[in-house]
Amino acid sequence: MDRIVDLDEAAAVLARRAADWTSVGLVVAPATWRDAEAAWPPPSETDRSRVRDPDSLGLMITGPADAALSVVLFRGGRADVDYVADLDDAGSLPASGITSAPDFGTRVDHWVARVFGDRAPEVPPAP
């Protein structure tokens, strides 16, 4: 798989946003990592140091009324994005052509706003 997105940089982007998310009542689970070198099926690790060759980074955010956003970013520039905003609004969101960690951060901001609406914090762009 091509290495288009640096997953460590993407994790840093998420870490910068996590305090804002938690300040408005969202719950951010620890990031998960998958190792391309691990035997199949590769386990999800929360300890980055246990992953030699990361090929995915996972994020799970939950909020009021059982709203949830699950994102798995793959180093090849795509992500699996699943959400539940409410009982009548759930599904997957398109996520391909991600070109960098900052691009991923911008998309995550949109996904968080889409799922959590008014509960989503305004996140200023990185300097």
- pLDDT at residue 29 above 60? yes
What lies within 8 Å, CB to CB, of 119 at 6+ separation is: 24, 25, 26, 63, 64, 67
**Residue 120's pLDDT is what?**
65
* Tokens 């901001």 sit on residue: 109
**Residue 124's pLDDT is what?**
53
Q: What digits encode the pLDDT tens for the residues 51-76? A: 999 999 999 999 998 999 999 999 99
Structural domain spans, the chain: 7-118
83: alpha, beta or left, given left = phi > 0 and alpha = psi -120 to 50?
Answer: beta
- pLDDT at residue 99 above 90? yes
